[in-house]
Amino acid sequence: MGIKFYENSRIFKLDTPKSTYMIGIVDEENFIGHIYYGRKVIDADLSYMMRLHGSSDVPTKNSRDRVTFMDSMPMEYPTHGVGDFRESCLSVKDHAGHSACSLSYISHRIYHGKQKLPGLPATFAREDECTTLELICEDKALQLQVTLVYNVFEKLDAITRSVKIYNSSKNPIYLTKVLSACLDMDNRDYDMITLYGLWSRERMINRRRITDGKQLISSLRGVSSHQEQPFMAILDKNADEDHGEVFALNLVYSGNFMAQAEITQFTMLRAVIGINPVDFCWKLDSEESFTSPEAVMVYSNEGIGGMTRTFHDLYRNHLIRGQYKDKKRPILINNWEATYFDFDTDKLLSIAREASKLGIEMLVMDDGWFGYRNDDNTSLGDWVVNESKIKGGLKHLVDEVNKLGMKFGIWFEPEMISPDSDLYRTHPDWAIQIPGRNPALARNQLVLDISRKEVRDAVYDSMYKILSEANIEYVKWDMNRPLTDIAGASLDSDTQGEFYHRYVLGLYEMQERLVSDFPHILLENCSSGGGRFDPGMLYYSPQIWSSDNTDAIDRLRIQEGTAMIYPLSAMGAHVADCPSHSNGRVTPFETRGYVSLAGTFGYELDITKIPEEDRNMIPKQVAMYHKYNDLVRTGDYYRIASYQMNHEYDCYEVVSKDKKEALVTYIQVSGRPNYRTRRIRLKGLKEDAIYRIEETGEELSGGALMYAGINIENMWGDYLGKLIHIVEI
Ligand code: DGJ
């Protein structure tokens, strides 16, 4: 059992294999104090960490200095308006218009397993995999019950948190801010890592010192966004890939969020994460509940790499669901970069015919098959097959593809509506817009108000019809613009602040329906590339399209940032055309294959037009995928060198869980003739085991491979790549 309650000291101790998290109930007023989070300790009481100096500093003994206490005590879930001037997690507006809130511990529950969060994605675990602590707290004046939930994983250094709020008063209470987690820590001169970006450059790694004041990352785009990830790692300033302490927060949510690190006046560090409070206001009527999204906390004392491997294990085993959870995915070919909107049945079948001969397993028909959509100006919402393009109908096309021995997948953008569409002409009010204002267009489209059930039902029904019409085994769910002009037609003036969150709940409901009604379908989420690559989406789709940037070299950076949190099995990655449609770069076909191998693997090019020698390489790449994908999907990921940092080469390794096999990918980004060889040191092997390097037949111990390393030779030229496969003998 990972959770212990010490009754005399009123301390809760949460233990994972290598970390301890400690909570204390303080003073007669029952404040919920944060005592410790860090490397595992055997002690039952570290309450000296709270610096309360006996009991003289607590409000019941020294009410004269209550504010000093409130503003310095390390809190588990700080509230607004009663003396803690640091960032709060909870603030309200009561029926009198007051915003203060204050929590006292009432009781607790400890149990095996983990409950679902209503309507929200969350990690899951069996009773023997996880223990839960629920701290039931109350604001007596407001008659508001707040339950802080902690789920402690038995075999992973991960604790997940969420918050349930229940209004037991007779009046509505407006929740103006509900964050999911707070971490009050001593400021030990930490750095922070966040992942920032933009379209086509998602999840760039940003490491910087945490300095005085507040360092905020957030999204107000209605999606988690290309620009910031709902993720923050706080790490020792000397921590690197393999050493040092790292404390990471990741929010299982796909909408507006905030994550913030703040150095407070007494040089403490407060980190918080949750739904962005900007434009958020939830009306909680009497006897109603609200549940926050789940925040994941990961601890590592093995540097960034240790954090990464914990996230990968947690998400692979306790977040991703469905029949493809632990399965190899079909190698797909997507027609987007091959044809854009200019395709018909014949064109798609010509691609499928060629692809099937080379071992590709699925054809995905991207944007442009419905309504009158021959460019991106029309028809979103009209999910009716355009038979002038898809001649003979969808079933005919799918049957023909199936006859070639291939599966068939299809693209949708269910949340959108084009002003030039039958749907808009019938239901203009279904588009999100503020009455009296012209809503802003992006890619010439508007967003459907999927917070409304009738809108969700109508869109879902039209998707359902298409998916039932033919043997469709994959869906790419795209979303190509942010939300603006927020107004909920079904919401009153005092509930407009619920819109963004209701939109996300609507999205989750639709995807839950899709995966329940069509459990055999492989769902891939996408948002203008990787604009909604977050743990919330992973709960519904085991893979997410990483970026519209398909250039192999730019992808190295995008995939490095993505793989810092998310498993390789989830990273949509394709071999694309050259010169790259993203940046004009020409890279060897072979290298493009190596880079895509680190993700789901597939193709995004006109296979009927690429050079003969590239086409001839495909069966070899297909074989390589089949040979290595089990290892890549399930193994431990180690970063050996980062092209983002060294600007010359990239190198990463996947080691099987039993450490009997490893695959190293090396990409020489800029050829340097003055280097005859480059030394690479492997990681994660058994020191005393002997491994054979498949390519050279050399036999070396794990120790030699890790500490002496191996030489990468004959890499004269830019953009060359190499795989090194080692197996224990
Ligand atoms: C954005 C996606 O990221 C692309 O892969 C493609 O599906 C286009 N949308 C289609 O409009």
- The CATH number assigned to the domain holding 71 equals 2.70.98.60
**274 and 353: one domain?**
no
55 pLDDT tier (thresholds 50, 70, 90): low
Mean pLDDT (the chain, rounded): 97
The token duo for 625 is: 């995928």
Task: Look at residue 53 and tell me whether its pLDDT is greater than 80.
Answer: no
**CATH number, position 662:** 2.60.40.1180
Same domain for 375 and 420? yes
160 lines ligand 1 (CB under 6 A): no
Q: What digits encode the pLDDT tens for the residues 377-415?
A: 999 999 999 999 999 999 999 999 999 999 999 999 999
Active site residues: 478, 548
219 and 88, same structural domain? yes
Q: Which of 337-341, 560-564, 671-675, 711-715 is predicted with the least confidence, judged by mean pLDDT?
A: 671-675
Tokens for 237, please give them: 């300033």
Out of 527, 547, 548, mutate this one to test ligand 1's pocket (max ligand atoms within 8 Å of CB): namely 548
Among 545, 561, 590, give the residue marking a domain's end. 545
Whole-model pTM: value is 0.98
Our answer on whether the CB atom of 369 is closer than 6 Å to any ligand 1 atom is no
Give the separation between CA 478 and CA 409, rounded to whole angstroms.
Answer: 13
Q: Give CA–CA dist 402/408, Å, rounded.
A: 7
* pLDDT of 519 above 80: yes
CB 13 within 8 A of CB 35: no
Q: Are 340 and 610 in contact (CB under 8 A)?
A: no
Statement to judge: residues 527 and 658 lie in one domain: no
pLDDT value of position 674: 54
Same domain, yes or no: 395 and 446 = yes
Is the pLDDT score of 333 beyond 90? Answer: yes
Clarify whether residues 434 and 533 are in a common domain: yes
Instruction: Quote the number of domains for the chain.
Output: 3
Could you tell me the residue range of the domain that residue 672 belongs to? 640-728
pLDDT at 150: 98
Place of tokens 């995915």: 329
- Residue 716 has a pLDDT of 80
Residue 516 lies in a domain: yes
Does 650 reside within a domain? yes
Asked if the structure places residue 541 within a domain, the reply is yes
Q: What is the pLDDT of residue 675?
A: 59
Q: What is the mean predicted confidence (pLDDT) over 308-330?
A: 98
For the ranges 41-55, 583-597, 686-700, the lowest mean pLDDT is seen at: 41-55
Mean pLDDT (whole number) for 554-572: 98
CA distance linking residue 602 with residue 330, whole number of Å: 8
Burial of residue 274, with CB atoms counted within 10 A of its CB: 0-12 exposed, 13-18 middle, 19 or more buried: buried
- Of all protein residues, the one whose alpha carbon is nearest to atom 10 of ligand 1 is 367
Helices (H), 138-234: none
Measured in whole angstroms, the distance separating CA 385 from the mean position of its chain's CA atoms is: 32
C-beta 77 within 6 A of ligand 1: no
189-203, 251-265, 500-514, 702-716, range with the lowest pLDDT: 702-716
Name the phi and psi angles at 696, rounded to 5.
Answer: -110, -15
| Residue 154, phi then psi, degrees to nearest 5 | -70, -35
Model confidence at 676: pLDDT above 90? no
pLDDT digit string, tens, across residues 154-166? 999 999 999 999 9
What's the rounded mean pLDDT across residues 18-37?
97
Closest CA to 224 of 248, 194, 257: 257
| Alpha-carbon gap, residue 51 to 458, rounded angstroms | 58
The answer to whether residue 673 scores a pLDDT higher than 60 is: no
Helices and strands in the chain: count of H runs, count of E runs:
14, 39
Contact present, 116 and 130 (Cβ < 8 Å): no
Count of Cβ atoms closer than 10 Å to residue 416 Cβ: 24
Q: Report percent pLDDT > 90 for the chain.
A: 96
User: For ligand 1, is residue 545 a contact (CB within 6 Å)?
Assistant: yes
Q: Angle CA(113)–CA(115)–CA(118) in degrees, nearest 5?
A: 165
What's the rounded Cα separation, in Å, for the pair 283 and 175?
A: 6
Give me ligand 1 centre to Cα 226, in Å: 14
Instruction: Please check whether residue 23 lies inside any domain of the structure.
Output: yes
pLDDT of residue 218: 98
Is 145's pLDDT higher than 60?
yes
